[in-house]
Structure 1
């Protein structure tokens, strides 16, 4: 197989799993190419390639950026596709919704897997041992999923469609994310900020203006993916009045390679 693997990751959880799946497939002799989902996407798909999607489950769906990416995929014409998604708890039927989305685009779903990973939000104290156990179990699950993909025995779960379609329309509109931002309004602490502008350069939706002395987050664009929070070298991006430990699944150098 030749796999074109499209990945969106905020704090590194999803990228870690996608790389685990991809490396296992490479061990089996398959070609795997990674593409990060962002504002500007290009679709390199040869006729015989298999498409992989990797993204976080957010609000029992995913971020508007991810939903727009899936909507912009070219017609599948029977091309095979699989999905790996990370989450902090339950997906409440999102698996089946994404299956329908790709089928409606003409793709053939061949497998999906959901992975519970460490939480990104509001960690007063990072539960190091628990997180280590979650990551270890998720990596093992990722390798097993890759083996099933390679053998052709993977399946795309339908899930239980608990959440109605109207909810997905609300998610894709960005309204729910703006509501979330009002609850957790991440801002830049100017006393801590070292003005490196890493946050502005790496925001996947261009929500951070780095043209001034300090970066400024546009709450009408921000999708609360937590990438800026996770990879700020000075831990200068946080929710005022809600101190939390910084979480990331990997260091920035590993994330950006």
Structure 2
């Protein structure tokens, strides 16, 4: 297997997946592979180039991943042996993603060539100290480099544990539904602190599911359909949006706000 053209579709919430994808792209390009980057939230599954190798990158949420990422994967077109790989980032355990995604793409005619889950700093509930964060990121980037090299050499694989992965997948789907429930959206709402907000509107631009809009007073308004990717809390330049379920409302970001915004603008 020789990869010449790679279309890498990814989503990053707080920046962990962005770092992993950037490192993998660096390795791919080092070997002369042409890489095209696409943001999952802005992409149409039916418009992918089936003559290119397809890469998927995303964070874990509720033991699998976000609904809009699932929808992108499930809407992939039928093909005849198009190579595809995935990488996800997580703080601990998933269980409901690698196997189920493999089954979906296999049934659509894709050739699964690799799957990798990479531990990165936690961005929810408890934010680790800077030293721990730095070490985890460094280790994660090493794993990303190794994984990219294994894909290039044809040594990567995409396994599956049927009963475990299928069971965790259904648990995950239930948890995702609870996340979007009225109760969850009411008590864990990521509202803006108007005393800190400078009305820049970046949270509106960054929200992957258009859950934030500008109100009549020019302040951002949460529409109560949040998927809790935590982009708005992480990259608000004024730290005007905190996470109520995080310890002391702390936020986490893997890269500086300016770098994240610049990178996302570049591939829009």
The structure that is helix-richer by fraction is: 2
1:126–1:245 contact (8 Å) kept in structure 2: no
Count how many residue pairs are aligned between Structure 1 and Structure 2: 254
Are positions 1:243 and 2:245 aligned together? no
TM-superposed CA distance for 1:28, in Å, is 1.2
Runs of 4+ with >2 A deviation: 39-48, 159-172, 174-185, 239-246
Indicate conservation of the 8 Å contact 2:45/2:72, yes or no. Answer: no
Moved more, 86-95 or 221-230: 86-95
Q: Distance in 2 between matches of 1:165 and 1:250?
A: 30
Counterparts of residues 85-96 of structure 1 (less than 5 Å): 85-96=88-99
User: Does 1:254 pair with 2:253?
Assistant: no
TM-score (norm 1): 0.90
**Residue 128 of structure 1 is aligned with which of 127, 130, 149?**
130
| Equivalent in the alignment of 2:147 | 145
Equivalent position of 2:71 in the other structure: 68
- Partners of 2:243 and 2:251 lie apart in 1 by 11
Unaligned runs of 5+ in 1: none
| In structure 1, distance between residues paired with 2:244 and 2:59 | 25
Task: Judge which range, 87-96 or 155-164, deviates more.
Answer: 155-164
Q: Take 2:260 and 2:13, find their aligned partners in 1: how far apart are those partners?
A: 10
TM-score norm. by structure 2 comes to 0.87
2:107 is matched with which residue: 96, 104, 107? 104
Matched-pair contact (CA < 8 Å) for 1:209–1:218: yes
2:7 corresponds, among 1, 4, 7, to: 4
2:72 match: secondary structure: helix
Counterpart for residue 215 of structure 1:
220
Give the conservation status (yes or no) of the 8 Å contact 1:177–1:224. no
